[in-house]
Structure 1
Amino acid sequence: MLTPEAAASIDKIYAEMEAGLRARFRDSAAQIEFVRSMDARLAGQTWETPFVSVPAGEITPAKVDEMVQNFHHVYQSRAGNRFDDLPVQAVTYRVEAVVKVGKVDYPRLQQGSGCVLKPESTFDLRYLSEEPISAGRYQRETFKAGDRIEGPAVIHEALSTTFMLPGQIATVGEYGELRITRT
């Protein structure tokens, strides 16, 4: 139960979890941030309210009271009512390790002509309609920014395949993203 007397026990749980995570991320220790949460319920309930915020730092009796208030706020936002006079029981404690890293700088593609590309080959797609559909085959790594691909098409790449229906057109963005719209 979340009572002032439980503060030391709760603090010990969070301190142990954070120490374990800190040891796993030794190389990133200066850049690590811990985000605490808990799943809790009203005493006697059979279901929990997940991901209730838990304050950082040493858990004191005042912070246990803050945890209870956080629970009631989240409970009310999800259930539409609150029961401030009922005791709250914490069921699961969580710590999320957030490692701060620099922003990824994606390379830009070389600018293309903006023309519709010709497929490297064509093949028949069967079972999508009563008659086979002739589709173009493309390799994504050959695209340049601004290139356009008309469906029906199949775009191959190392880890996935993109299928475009007849009447769709893909425009290659400056970072290689495909923006597929209807023609």
Structure 2
Amino acid sequence: LEAAEGIFRLVNANMANAIRKVSAGRGIDPRPLVLVAFGGNGPLHAGMQAAELGIGRLFVPKLAPAFSALGLLLSDHVVDELRSYVSPVGGVDLARVNALLAEMEAAARRALGRPARLGRLAALCYPGQTFDMPVPLEARNGTVTPQGLSETVERFHRMHEELHTYACRDEEPILRGLRIKAVATDEKPALPRAEGGPAAKARAGARKAFFGGRLVPTPVYDGTKLGAGATIDGPALVDEPFTTVVIYPGQQARVDRFGNYTITLGTA
């Protein structure tokens, strides 16, 4: 058991380090954030990972094992149309830009075949940069004017400074391309509500589980019988049809109206 726990802790430490690497690479401190656990195994590991990262809250969706599929089901339909157009912003041919945008908008609407919201973006960069930034393109009634282009350039400077900590306002940006993003929104299915009751009525027994180097008598709950507002103190196990939510010692889970679990952390 000690060896198995050691392997489990090592796995979680490695995953926590991967989260640190990704977040630190973007200048983000994960500690004030909420960790979302999904997939069939996510709720097994997340409580320990959150503790490892110093994160104080954890969110486990009721449909955690099918969370990616749910995201696809709830997503809007999106079509992107892109065209290359390279020019310093001072030399942009607005007539050509507007003609390209109109052509792209028509193509996006045809591809979706339904009413859509349109977003217009310009790919801008500073001279010498090998990457560009998509910047919302200011357009009046669907037409880019000289003033709209100037406002777009100023927005690019601000966005670049926010993302990269500096802006080169004395340099003329380069327009490298245009993009139309068309979004059609479908009716979303209603999520099922948690129809169960308090934790005491969802108690399904107990078994010994290995926490902190020793076997601990651990209550087990039937997740399908938990209702909104139910709270469970760790250590505890919640059995769902396709996953198990582990609530570690010092943690507490609360069920919301959709059956999702919000877990607040102490020391796991």
CA distance in 2, matches of 1:159, 1:16: 48
**Is residue 5–residue 61 contact of structure 1 (8 Å, CA) maintained in 2?**
no
Other-structure match for 2:148: 63
2:216 corresponds in structure 1 to 133
1:23 equivalent in alignment to 2:110: yes
CA distance 1:139–1:41, change in 2 (3 Å)? same
Aligned to 1:72: 157
Distance 2:118 2:242 in 1: 33
Query: Is the alpha carbon distance of 1:66 and 1:180 closer, same or farther for their aligned partners in structure 2, counting shifts above 3 Å?
Result: closer
Mapped to 2, the partners of 1:81 and 1:135 lie a distance apart of 56
Please say if residues 202 and 223 of structure 2, whose CA atoms lie closer than 8 Å, have aligned partners that are also in contact.
no
Structure with greater contact order relative to length (CA < 8 Å, sep ≥ 6): 2
In the alignment, structure 1 segments of 5+ residues that lack a partner are none
Aligned-partner Cα distance in 2 for 1:37–1:135 = 54
Which of 230, 233, 251 pairs up with 1:168? 251
**1:11 counterpart (89, 98, 112):** 98
Confirm or deny that 1:122 pairs with 2:206.
yes
C-alpha distance in structure 1 between counterparts of 2:241 and 2:95, whole Å: 52
Partner residue, 2:239: 156
User: Which shifted more, 100-109 or 137-146?
Assistant: 100-109
Counterpart position of 1:96: 181
Per mean C-alpha deviation after superposition, the further-off stretch among 16-25 and 94-103 is 94-103
String of CA shifts for 1:126-165, please: whole Å, max 9, x gaps: 4x53223343333322211232323222223355442100
Q: What is the rounded CA distance, in whole Å, between the counterparts of 1:67 and 1:182 in structure 2?
A: 44
Computing the radius of gyration from Cα coordinates, the structure with the larger value is 1
Query: TM-score, normalization: structure 2?
Result: 0.52
Q: Whole-Å Cα distance in 1 between the matches of residues 177 and 216 of structure 2?
A: 54
Q: How high is the TM-score relative to the length of structure 1?
A: 0.71
Identity %: 26
Where does structure 2 lack aligned partners over 5 or more consecutive residues?
1-86
- Which one has a larger percent helix, Structure 1 or Structure 2? 2
1:179 aligns with 2:266: no
Q: Assess if the C-alpha contact under 8 Å between 1:150 and 1:170 holds in 2.
A: yes
Q: How far apart are the structure 1 equivalents of 2:147 and 2:136?
A: 15
Task: Give the Cα separation in 1 of the matches to 2:154 and 2:111.
Answer: 32
Query: How big is the alpha-carbon RMSD for the aligned residues of Structure 1 and Structure 2?
Result: 3.2
Q: Secondary structure at the match of 1:132?
A: strand
Counterpart of 2:127 in structure 1 is 43
